[in-house]
Amino acid sequence: MPQYLLVAFDGDAPNALEKRMEVRPRHFEYARRMKAEGKIIVGGAQLSEEGKMKGSAVILNFEDENDLLEYLKNEPYILEGVWTNYTITPFRVADLS
């Protein structure tokens, strides 16, 4: 199953962190559902030098690009303008066993 690395950045607006915190419960609800379905392998926040959240990185697992696009179309951080730009790169998780 294809895997992808999503690297996303929050906006530069002075209230970007507040916006992120406002949307975070909806993002987590969606992310937990995607994790339960095996669509998210792992994810987390990128931090500034001061330790404040400034973006995200997520390793995703989808059948094909259409499923990936469906995920992106419903991601609250995208829908509500928290992530102002992001990149998606094909990715393969290493088997370290």
- For residue 77, the enclosing domain spans 3-91
Q: How many domains does the chain contain in total?
A: 1
pLDDT at 1 over 80: no
**What is the DSSP secondary-structure string of 7-65?**
EEEE--STTHHHHHHHHHHHHHHHHHHHHHTT-EEEEEEEE-TTS-EEEEEEEEE-SSH
Q: Is residue 65 part of a domain?
A: yes
Whole-model pTM? 0.92
Q: Is residue 97 part of a domain?
A: no
Could you report the per-residue pLDDT of 31-78, keeping only the tens digit for each? Answer: 999 999 999 999 999 999 999 999 999 999 999 999 999 999 999 999
Q: Is residue 96 part of a domain?
A: no
Q: Is residue 83 part of a domain?
A: yes
Q: Is residue 37 part of a domain?
A: yes
CATH code, domain carrying 87 = 3.30.70.1060
Q: Is residue 66 part of a domain?
A: yes
Q: Is residue 42 part of a domain?
A: yes
